Structure 1
Amino acid sequence: APVPSKDVIARSAGLAAAFRAKGLPVVLVNVTGGAPGRNEAPQRGEQPPADWADLVADLDAQDSDIRVTKQTWGAFYGTDLDSQLRRRGITQVVLTGIATSIGVESTAR
């Protein structure tokens, strides 16, 4: 069954806080519009609000967090996430997020 966004955010924030408390890295991913130079049909309807790509304040982003801005469904494609994890010797990840059937699943693949 679907889980309300507020519950996903609260659980994700708790998980991030627990990782930070153990000295483990936290990666925060946001998504922006399409990649520069892409030609797509204009979207119908209203434009998203100016702050739609901002990280949710409840996540309590820290300066030590790894931040990734993606422009596609997965957080690895077209970003430096893979190299950031490899540089730190990270071989296992825990994923959480709102769009589990899109962004989270695409990142896991």
Structure 2
Amino acid sequence: MSYDVWATVEPAPNRFSTYLDLGNMTSNVAPMWRKACPSLDGLAGIDGKKGSEVSSALSIGLLEMFVRRRTLEYMAPANGWGSFAGAFRYFAAITRAANEHPDALFGVSR
């Protein structure tokens, strides 16, 4: 299983919507995200929300991941499917998208 995340940016009048495919990441690293960003239950809590609604919490979560790296690295799945580095990069990409597209509507499939 994995987390697939995307965002839809509403267009200017007479334009088409822009779809941002933010890729996917194994759900084996979700406990790291939940630990770093409990207010959003990791990434699950961004589903159906606009970037402006989640950007602050995501930014705080990203900082938590950076500061608590050693603790979170120990949460890496024993089966080898996922790592702190990958979880951090993915979380950073989603945080950046929320900050850059405050009006975008985010979706999460897990």
Of Structure 1 and Structure 2, which has the larger fraction of its residues in helix?
A: 2
**TM-score normalized by the length of structure 1:** 0.25
The answer to which structure, 1 or 2, has the higher relative contact order (CA under 8 A, 6+ apart) is 2
Larger radius of gyration: 1
**TM-score normalized by the length of structure 2:** 0.25
Of Structure 1 and Structure 2, which has the larger fraction of its residues in strand?
A: 2
